[in-house]
Structure 1
Amino acid sequence: MVRPVVVGLDGSRESLAAADWAAREALRRGLPLRLVHAYEGLPPDVSELPELEAPRYWAGRILRAALDRLNEQYPQVYLSGEQIARPAAEALVSAGDGAELLVLGSRAFSGFGGFMAGSVALATVAHVRRPVVLVRAERTAADEHVPDAGGRPSEREPYREVVVGVDTAHPCEEVLRFAFESATLRTAPLRVVHTWQPPRLPGPADVQAADAARTEAEQALTALVRPWREKFPAVQVSEVVRIGHPAQELLHAAADAGLLVVGRKARPGRFGTHTGPVAHAMMHHVRCPVAIVPHE
């Protein structure tokens, strides 16, 4: 079965930027694109009162406008759209579970507005069983590429690197697979980042233990990445081991990235919006698109 790329719409600038990114990703992957707009209106067989039809009418306008724009800009992509009369997070989780990946618009931590911000995005990411990509409003197609010689955005230049954060103590194939595939689709370099904390021991033993721990961390990362280098020999890979807090180090590493990939431990049956501290920080503070990949 062919899984589509699915994008959630709410009419905001963020969700429109997400739809553009999703269309480009569907092109890269050779997949259809499905647009979903959720609204908490009544189903058509409940009432014919005009005032109760308003949510469905505005949902239809948002969906039709997006379909028309994407059809014009990306004629090679097979598009479909659907209005879903269910709460937004519930509808997006259901749609995302049947997708190759789900794409949502995302505001910064202090932002306010449409349903893609705040609790709905958090609830969706926390419960969907497929990768979710969050896209900011200001991201354009040119921003996926390195600047030209004059420092200007240009789609003619190579793609920016893909960055993935990993924990060698908890290897997760799904996260590395997504990162390597994304780098392959873009012919982009891949940077694999692992952070660690040095042991705290008194005296000269502290320095020796820290050096040994760093060497062990580098060896563990090399061993983790080696089979993926063999599966994807065309990908230019760099391995980075940093001392520090994972969220801070990933924020630094992703400053010039085209895509950041992080994992989220799947918690079947859990309620709430817990996504883990690193994924949570990346959702709110990274400017480039962020892919959050669930893993066991």
Structure 2
Amino acid sequence: MTRPITAGVDGTEESLAALDWAAREAVRRGLPLRVVHAWRYAESLATADRDTQHGWVSDGVAEAMRTVSGRHPGLEVRMDVVEGGPAQALADAAAEAEMLVLGSRGHGPVIGFLLGSVGQQVIAETTRPVVLVRAGDQPAAEAAGRDVVVGQHGSAEDSADVLRFAFETAAARRATVRAVRAWTLPPVFAYSPGSLKLLDDAGGLEPYEKQALADALAPWRERFPDVPVAEHVEMGSAGQVLLSVAGRAQLMVVGRRARRTAVGARIGSVTHGVLHHAGCPVAVVPHERPADA
């Protein structure tokens, strides 16, 4: 089954920017585009029945679709107006998509990328990649030689899904993958005879981290030989290190552990920080830890 690239649209400037981004990505990947709008019948509008309100919403989404189709004449576009809560409707749409693309409310001077409760819930619940695009996104950045930046963490198996998404996206854009791995000094009690031997064999902490990144990238370099790769290993918190290279990124790709806790699904502190402060579109890719890890 061919999965579409799906864009959630609500008529706002940021959702229309997300729709434009999704359309360009669909063209690059040769995939259909699905446009989804969630709505609820407003009983307070006594002069308009359910069918009339549905017609208003459909007309607005159809206008956005006509604009996209005019820019990309060969693109297959389909529209779905779904009655219900936006978070559930978008999560359901994401389950059937190659990726879900949503708008962000902007980049504020204090808290940065304003994600919103619906976006947070959808990202936390879905098992598919979600891309956040803010209003004012500039397509020119995609053609300006900027990198697809991806955060790599843990073992090669841990980061396989995240790296796959980054390499596939870079290949479609003929861009460089800039793989970033951050490391910090572990507390003394974290050392064990086994870990000390691994570090000793690698020649120290930084060489060990560089080798870990190289090992994680190796299968993807082989699978995508035409994609240039830059490796970035730096001491510091993962969020800070990723944001330090965000200025050269056309897209930031981060992972989210696809697990539920006693308080429900979570985005994770690093992903949350990048979502709130990166100036470029951000892709959040859920991944599972291998069963034997």
TM-score normalised by length of structure 2 = 0.85
Q: Is the 8 A contact 2:14 2:106 kept in 1?
A: no
| Counterparts of 1:137 and 1:235, CA distance in 2 | 29
| Residues 82/248 of structure 1: CA separation in 2 closer, same or farther (3 Å cut) | same
Which residue is equivalent to 1:220?
212
Q: 1:252 aligns with which of 219, 244, 248?
A: 244
| Residues 276/199 of structure 1: CA separation in 2 closer, same or farther (3 Å cut) | closer
CA deviation after TM superposition for structure 1 residue 255, in Å: 1.3
CA deviation after TM superposition for structure 1 residue 274, in Å: 2.0
> Aligned letter for 1:164?
V
CA deviation after TM superposition for structure 1 residue 49, in Å: 6.0
Which residue is equivalent to 1:205?
none
1:1-296 → structure 2 map (5 Å cutoff): 1-41=1-41, 50-53=47-50, 55-108=53-106, 110=108, 117-146=115-144, 159-169=145-155, 171-199=158-186, 212-267=204-259, 272=264, 274-296=266-288
Unpaired segments ≥5 residues, structure 1: 147-158, 202-207
| Counterparts of 2:64 and 2:174, CA distance in 1 | 29
Query: What are the superposed Cα offsets for residues 89-121 of structure 1, whole Å, 9 maximum, x if unpaired?
Result: 00000001000110001124649xxxx941000
| Counterparts of 1:107 and 1:135, CA distance in 2 | 9
| Counterparts of 1:75 and 1:258, CA distance in 2 | 25
| Residues 81/271 of structure 1: CA separation in 2 closer, same or farther (3 Å cut) | farther
> Aligned letter for 1:250?
L
Bigger shift: 48-57 or 176-185?
Answer: 48-57
| Counterparts of 2:269 and 2:5, CA distance in 1 | 27
| Counterparts of 1:110 and 1:140, CA distance in 2 | 17
Bigger shift: 6-15 or 59-68?
Answer: 59-68
* SS of residue in 2 equivalent to 1:51: coil
> Aligned letter for 2:57?
A
Query: What are the superposed Cα offsets for residues 64-108 of structure 1, whole Å, 9 maximum, x if unpaired?
Result: 121111111111111110110010000000001000110001124
| Counterparts of 1:21 and 1:186, CA distance in 2 | 13
Query: What are the superposed Cα offsets for residues 241-286 of structure 1, whole Å, 9 maximum, x if unpaired?
Result: 1111111111111112111111011125876562001111121111
Q: Is the 8 A contact 1:131 1:294 kept in 2?
A: yes
Query: What are the superposed Cα offsets for residues 24-52 of structure 1, whole Å, 9 maximum, x if unpaired?
Result: 0000010110100001227xxx9x96434
CA RMSD of aligned residues (A): 2.5
| Residues 248/58 of structure 1: CA separation in 2 closer, same or farther (3 Å cut) | farther
| Counterparts of 2:15 and 2:86, CA distance in 1 | 13
Query: What are the superposed Cα offsets for residues 141-164 of structure 1, whole Å, 9 maximum, x if unpaired?
Result: 212221xxxxxxxxxxxx421100
| Counterparts of 2:93 and 2:49, CA distance in 1 | 25
Which residue is equivalent to 1:153?
none
Q: Is the 8 A contact 1:89 1:124 kept in 2?
A: yes
| Residues 109/143 of structure 1: CA separation in 2 closer, same or farther (3 Å cut) | closer
CA deviation after TM superposition for structure 1 residue 177, in Å: 0.4
| Residues 21/118 of structure 1: CA separation in 2 closer, same or farther (3 Å cut) | same
> Aligned letter for 1:51?
A
| Residues 26/188 of structure 1: CA separation in 2 closer, same or farther (3 Å cut) | same
| Counterparts of 1:97 and 1:235, CA distance in 2 | 28
Whichever structure has more strand as a proportion of its residues is 2
Q: Is the 8 A contact 1:108 1:284 kept in 2?
A: no
* SS of residue in 2 equivalent to 1:282: helix
CA deviation after TM superposition for structure 1 residue 12, in Å: 0.7
